[in-house]
Structures are given as structure tokens and as C-alpha cells.
Amino acid sequence: MAEVSIGVMVDGLGGGPVKVDVPPQSNFFEVLKALKAAGHAKGLNALAVLVDGVAVDLVATVPGSSAVPVRFLTFDDAAGQEVFRHSTAHLLAHAVSRLFPDVLPTIGPVVEEGFYYDFAATPFTPEDLERLEVEMRKIVAEDLPVQRLEMTRDEALVAFASNRFKVQMIREFEDGSITAYRQGDFIDLCRGPHVPRTRMLKSFKLTKVAGAYWRGDQKNEQLQRIYGISFPDAARLEAHLKALDEARERDHRKIGQEMDLFSFHDEGTGFPFWHARGMVLRNTVVEYWREVHRKYLYNEILTPAILNMSLWQTSGHYDHYRKNMYVTQIDEVDHAVKPMNCPGGLLVYKSRLHSYREFPLRVAELGAVHRHELSGVLHGLFRVRSFTQDDAHIFCTPEQVEASVVETIRLVFEIYRTFGFTDVHVELSTRPLQGSIGSDEVWRVAEAGLEAALKSQDIDYKLNPGDGAFYGPKIDFHVKDCMGRSWQCGTIQVDFSMPDRFHATYEAEDGTRKIPVMIHRAILGSLERFIGILIENFAGKFPLWLNPTQVKVLPIGDKFSDYAKQVGDELVRAGLRAEVDLRNEKLGKKIRDAQMQHVNYQLVCGAREAETGTVAVRMRSGEDLGALPLAEVIARLKDENDRRVL
């Protein structure tokens, strides 16, 4: 029998591809079996396979050419993880169809927190989730084969005739073969790939139920969304669930309430209300931000919140953000509340003539922006309808782009280090395939400038082809918190197009008028979201320099209140944030309350302290430093605060 020779790349082997010989029309199970027989794939738990960069099922037929690159996917690959969790979403839908036969499945994608599946159903209860998990385990135990089916549009319309959502999707598909997957008595539309058998989906947990709308449009039918998570083994699932428990304890909404930082109200859904202590935290972050930006020679501006709609049409934001913009009329002319600061910054730039001698011109703005987010996606400070962007725009010549981006990268890392974020992942995103503005040449120059800046700093980065902004390529910065969660915060975007749309110019060295390059950048991203990240990263136990209440002065009884007030006044005069607890409570309760509020230091004032001009110092950890002279304590705290010790 003639044989096909195919080069197979297996994760973890090291070196180059391993070549195995398999008969024609073999599937990738046979390839995997041959690899294992040769000792190359011991312990490899493959879920699917990449063929020339495209993920396919393990039961797919091996291509006839040995030149096609092949790599098996495991759960440790992002693509393999997606296969596993999307297969678990189908497992959930299968269980729902058995227990609730009148419910209509719609879609079930993989998301950052696991997977979900939307159903046209009455609300599910926690007891329903428990029953569904039991049924899912039964389907796993049945070890059903998962089969890929290819249908014509007419065949698919017949197969899914009882589900109006699937019918709508099928009618919208382009002509050609439609794929579905079957496991036992359940069939669902899907591009795939999937795991080959249900027995592989052993460890999962349904985590919550939420409301949703068909295709995310609140004008459409309301659905019930079930979220879940899955792993190949119980140990990883258990570790993940423990991490979720810790995340719940660190939830910034819970801690924000305990520390009296902010609140949300039905009278302004999605709009945060900052309390006095929250404003101290917010202003501390802002003051540091301003200090660093002064050092890097930025000028700060502020632009209006509401601007004429024609501005947003000129900038291109109208075409891309219209459904998320708040609109109004002023003097019978359409206006919009700004969703971005950039166009206003361009108007400021255009208010006078600029020379190349001013470049690079660095202009920063802490601008409040508003975007209409669906109520179902609002989430504390992480997803709000009003937030403050720490925007800045650098106007420069094309020759200055690389140096300006390098300087900005250094600024980004300096700020992140101060807040304790040292694990930063960087991504470079290039021109979108559709909807972008500007010529091929300016995009090529912009992308090259960003790439050169990253390479000059020896920064490892991931390339995201086609994921840039509509007006330019970008570098995104993802910080990792103490729980290993990644947050996209900073961004640098090179824009040759928007200054051209606004007819912004500068006087060049040769006396001609030229169009500047505009570098958009943010470091914290959304100030509100960044503060939420800080709260969860520190679990409310802020370093001294960030804490809204750094010191609590605790008198032992009323007769020492005057001395406690005197201590509090001296702390405040020294620039420290101190509060005196004058409540008629026992000392033990005052200490416990201060620790619950995550105050860094508690200074106890009694008879001996009042007599000697000292304070008994207790730290947030519970460590007792004993009685120390007040001047010494103030000097120690000022040093810790001024150096922004973490």
C-alpha cells in the first residue's frame, strides 16, 4: 500500500518537526498513534490539530501533502482550550435539551471567564444548575462520539426547523456547506472543531445565570445565559474555583462599600458616585499621574463634554461609535456627549499655528467620556457608562515617531512599577481588514515605527494582525495582578489619518505646511477601571501612599480625647491622612474596625502616652511596635509615604 509521509510538529518535543509515515486517508488519530508508538508523543493529550494554521478535528483526514505543517493542540494551547470549552458549552446545551425539551438553544461561545450558552427559556434557578451538572456528568459517562456533519442550506433548515434562532442564523449564512456537530440525540450548528468524545469533558462547573438579549440587542428577545468553566482534570478545576472564591473576597464592589469609597444608584445606572474617601484615593492616583507627566514635559488641557455632531463625523467616530454615543440637540443642532477625547484635542492643536521646533508636542487630558453600555455588561468600576481616560496626544514629525514611542513605553513601565505591576504583557496590533481609514503607505510606516520602538527596547510582544484601531496600529499593555489575572490598561496608537481629516498642519523646517503625526496614548486607560484593579490587587490593603485613611488615632476613653485630637492635628499638618476615632467604644472594637477598614497604622493614646508625648503604634498586620515618640512616628510615616513604598 502506498503511504503518505507527513511532517508533524508536537508541542514540547523541542527541535524540528518529527516525521511519521501513515497510510492514505488516515485521520489524525492514526498520526497521533504512530507518534506515540515511536515515543515522540508520550503523555500528549491532544484535543484537536492545527493544519496549516487552521484548527480541525482529530478525526479529520490527513492532507495528502507532507509539506503541510501540522501541530497537535492540547489544553495548554489557547486554541486547544477554546476547543475544550466550546465542546463543554455543547455538553451544557445537550443537558438542557434533555431536562428542558421546550427550551431553545441559541449560541454558546468561549469567553475569557470560560464559556456560556444562551437559551430562550424562563429563568433558571440554582437548583436547575445542579440538575444540569448531574445530567452533563451522565452524558460524559455515556462516552458519546462527537461527529461533524456537513449539510446544504435546505438540509440545515429542515434539521433545525423547530428552532427559530437557528433558522435565522442559517438563512444569513453564505451559500455553501453548513456544518453541525452531533453527540447522541443532540445536534447543534457549529464550525468546530470539537473534542472527539464526551468522556474527555470530565471537570466542569456551572457558575452563574444572567439575562441576555438575542445578539446583544436589547430590542430583541430576552434570553437566559448560563456561564460555566471547564478543565481536563479535577485538580485544575478545584484550583480555579478557589481562585474565584479569593476573587469574590477581593471584589472591588464589596471592598469599595466596606471602605466607603464609592457607590452605584438606580438613579444613575452605570455612573459611579465617588464618596469622600474614594475621592482621596482617586486624587492620590491623579496627583502622581500629573507629577510624572510634568517630569516628561506634558502640558495638560481640558476639552468640553458635549460637541457638535459634525466633529464626530469628521473624526470618523460617528461611523464607529454612533450606537454607543449619547446624543442631544442644542439650538436644534445635533450634538453628542464625547465618547473620546481625541477630536477635542485636535481642535486645541488647531487653535494656533505650530512649528516643527515645538515637536514633539506632548498634550495630556484627564477627560471624562461617556458611552452607552448595555445594562447587562455593566460591572462595578470595570464597566461603566462614564469614566475618565488618562489620554495624551503627541504631535510630531514622521522622523520623531520611533523616539516618541520609545519615550512613552518608558513612561508606561515607570508608572506601572510605582503601582506594583511588574509583570506586563505587550501586544502589537496591525491594520483591521475592514473599516480602517488612511492609505496603505501611512499604515505601513506607522506599523513599522511601533515595531521598531519595541525592538529597540528588547521588549517581547505578541503580534495581533488586523486588531488595530480604525485610524492606526497600536501597542497594548496588559498588567498582571497578584492573582495572575491580566488587565489591558495602556495603549499607544500611531495615527497619520485623523490630523489629515482635520486639516491639522505645522510649519516644517523648509517653510512648507505639513501634516503632523498624532500619537494617541493612555496608560491607566480608564481611571475608574484602574482604581478597581488596584482595589482587587491589594484587596483593599493599600500601601500607605495610596490609602485614603493612613492612620487612625485611638484614645483609650474620653479623658484622652484631647491628646488624641492633638496627635491627629500634628499628623495632618505633616501631610498625612489621619482620622481620630472619638466613638464611645472599647479600644478592642476600635482596633478591629480600623483593621476592617485596612488602615495602615493605629496610634493608641492613653495615660502614659499623653504624659510622655508618645503613641503606642500598631500596624495593620497586628504587629505591635510599642510606644514611640510622636515626632519619630511622623518622620517614619512621611518617609514611607513620600517614597511610595509598596
Read off the pTM.
0.80
269-276: average pLDDT? 96
Please identify which of the residues 190, 225, 342, 590 carries the catalytic annotation. 342
588-603: average pLDDT? 95
Q: Taken in order 260, 545, 285, 247, is the CA torsion positive or negative?
A: negative
Residue 393 a catalytic site member: yes
Question: How many degrees, rounded to 5, is the angle at CA 227 between CA 534 and CA 245?
Answer: 45
Rounded to an integer, what is the distance from CA 490 to the centroid of its chain?
11
Residue 371 a catalytic site member: yes
Residue 194 a catalytic site member: no
Question: What is the pLDDT confidence band of residue 9, given thresholds at 50, 70 and 90?
Answer: very low
Q: Taken in order 145, 151, 153, 159, is the CA torsion positive or negative?
A: negative
Looking at residue 33, its pLDDT comes to 83
Residue 379 a catalytic site member: no
pLDDT digits (tens, 9 = 90+) for 121-162: 999 999 999 999 999 999 999 999 999 999 999 999 999 999
Looking at residue 141, its pLDDT comes to 97
Looking at residue 67, its pLDDT comes to 60
Report residue 365 as a C-alpha cell: 487630558
pLDDT digits (tens, 9 = 90+) for 441-469: 888 888 988 999 999 999 999 999 888 88
Question: What is the pLDDT confidence band of residue 319, given thresholds at 50, 70 and 90?
Answer: confident
Please identify which of the residues 389, 550, 597, 602 carries the catalytic annotation. 389
Question: What is the pLDDT confidence band of residue 10, given thresholds at 50, 70 and 90?
Answer: very low
Q: Is the pLDDT of residue 12 over 50?
A: no
Residue 202 a catalytic site member: no
Q: Give the C-alpha separation, 229 to 519, whole Å.
A: 39
Looking at residue 31, its pLDDT comes to 79
Please identify which of the residues 86, 383, 393, 590 carries the catalytic annotation. 393
73-83: average pLDDT? 92
Please identify which of the residues 391, 476, 481, 495 carries the catalytic annotation. 391
Looking at residue 50, its pLDDT comes to 86
Q: Give the C-alpha separation, 633 to 329, whole Å.
A: 58
pLDDT digits (tens, 9 = 90+) for 375-414: 878 899 999 999 999 999 999 999 999 999 999 999 999 9
For residues 24 and 59, is the Cβ–Cβ distance under 8 A? no
152-180: average pLDDT? 91
Residue 354 a catalytic site member: no
Q: Is the pLDDT of residue 524 over 80?
A: yes
Neighbours of 556 (CB within 10 A): 19
Q: Is the pLDDT of residue 559 over 60?
A: yes
Q: Is the pLDDT of residue 13 over 60?
A: no
pLDDT digits (tens, 9 = 90+) for 631-645: 999 999 999 999 999
Question: What is the pLDDT confidence band of residue 65, given thresholds at 50, 70 and 90?
Answer: low
Start-to-end CA span in the chain (Å): 69
Looking at residue 45, its pLDDT comes to 85
Looking at residue 5, its pLDDT comes to 53
Please identify which of the residues 94, 371, 521, 590 carries the catalytic annotation. 371
481-489: average pLDDT? 90
Q: Is the pLDDT of residue 553 over 50?
A: yes
Q: Residue 548: helix, strand or coil by DSSP?
A: coil
Least confident of 6-15, 55-64, 140-149: 6-15
Please identify which of the residues 86, 252, 253, 474 carries the catalytic annotation. 474
Rounded to an integer, what is the distance from CA 584 to the centroid of its chain?
45
Residue 11 a catalytic site member: no
Please identify which of the residues 85, 94, 166, 520 carries the catalytic annotation. 520
For residues 227 and 200, is the Cβ–Cβ distance under 8 A? no
Domains in the chain (CATH in brackets) are: 4-74 (3.10.20.30), 83-248 (3.30.980.10), 276-527 (3.30.930.10), 551-642 (3.40.50.800)
Instruction: Give me the amino acid identity at 66.
Output: S
